[in-house]
Structure formats: structure tokens, C-alpha cells
Amino acid sequence: MTRTVRLTVNGQAREGAAEPRLSLADFLREVLDLTGTHLGCEHGVCGACTVLLDGEPIRACLMLAVQAAGRSITTVEGLAPADGLSPLQQAFQDKHGLQCGYCTPGILVTTQAFLRQNPSPTREEIREMLAGNLCRCTGYHLIVEAIEAAAHGPAGTHAPKPA
């Protein structure tokens, strides 16, 4: 039986209909038309669908849309300012931290929360954090460089927008 889910997405009040078995990831993509959140493995391994739930990263494929009622979600669409890119996104562009881009939304969202908790991570800490997001193109090297640049660069301001 379909239910109406009301929640906050990227700072805006949104609502949509969801069967209980609909994942939050499919709800974001198919009901709210926010297709920046990607689905890779759909069982929690690849990290492509990572979004922020009340500011903390979670797998959107492992949460039901009905469980997100009343909560605040930030997707990759919510990371960028009204025009241009966030400092983290800019660093990914500058350092070529992506190739096909499929895994990028999940990595950006995960890293945004990571840098808030650990603003000056070591390379080792960055690599441990990235273990939760699979990238099959880059070999991670340029992703690590992009994150280091975002953390240590002059524009190292990665404070998340309030969700």
C-alpha cells in the first residue's frame, strides 16, 4: 500500500508517494527526480548511492523511503552553491578526480561529511575512508589528491550547507 512520505531534501520540503519496499535511493531518483544519486550494487557495498541523513552519510539503497519521513536528506545536488561548484567539487575537477563519474556523487557526499569531522586528514585516513566507495576507473590516486587539495588548499572550506 502506497504511503505519502514528507521529508526535507537539500533544504526544501518535499513529498512523494512510496510503497514500503521502495528504497530511499529509488525514491530520490524516480519520485523526486534527483538523479544525481547513483545506484551501483544495490546492496550496500559500492557506496555510489551515499547521501547524508541528518548530516551523516548513509547508503540510500539500504534505507526504505518510508523510513526517511520527517528526516533531512542531502544529495549531491545539495552540495553545490547556487552557481558554480563547492570547493570539494572544484578540487575534483582541478585534479581530474573522476573519469566516468558514476561513483563520484557517492564519493563527494561521503567526503563532505568526512572532512567536516576530520578537516586535515592524512593520506592513510583518506584511503581508509575511500574504502567504502568503489571506483573502477581511476585507481583512486587522483581522488586522494583531489581530497587532499580540498582539505589543505586555500579554499579548504568544506562546511556543509545546512540540510
Partner 1 sequence: MKPAPFEYLAPATIVETVAALAQHGDDAKVLAGGQSLVPMLNLRLARPAVLVDINGVAELDHLREAEGRVHIGALKRQAGVERWAGARLPLMAEALRAVGHAAIRNRGTVAGSVAHADPASELPALLLCLDGAAVARGAAGERVIPAGELFRAPLTTSLRPDELVTEVRFSVPRPDAGWGFAEVARRHGDFALVGAAALLWLDDGGRVAGARLALFGVGGTPVRGSAAEALLTDQTPSAERIREAARAAAAALRPDGDLHASARYRSEVAAVLAERTLTAALERCERAA
Of 67 and 90, which has the nearer Cβ to partner 1? 67
Q: Using the structure block, give the residue that is written with the C-alpha cell 534527483.
A: 34
| Least distance (Å) between residue 4 CB and partner 1 | 14
Task: Please give the span between the terminal C-alpha atoms of the chain, in angstroms, as a whole number.
Answer: 29
**Which one, of 70, 74, 49, 46, lies nearest residue 59 by Cα?**
49
CA atoms of 121 and 136, how far apart (whole Å): 23
Of 6 and 83, which has the nearer Cβ to partner 1? 6
Q: Using the structure block, give the residue that is written with the C-alpha cell 561521503.
A: 110
Cell triple for 157: 572550506
Of 67 and 99, which has the nearer Cβ to partner 1? 67
| Least distance (Å) between residue 154 CB and partner 1 | 27
Residue type, 161: K
CA atoms of 105 and 162, how far apart (whole Å): 18
| Least distance (Å) between residue 156 CB and partner 1 | 20
Of 9 and 58, which has the nearer Cβ to partner 1? 58
Binding site residues, partner 1, CB under 8 A? 19-21, 23, 26, 42-44, 47, 50, 53, 56-59, 61-64, 66-67, 110, 113-114, 128-129, 131-132
| Least distance (Å) between residue 93 CB and partner 1 | 24
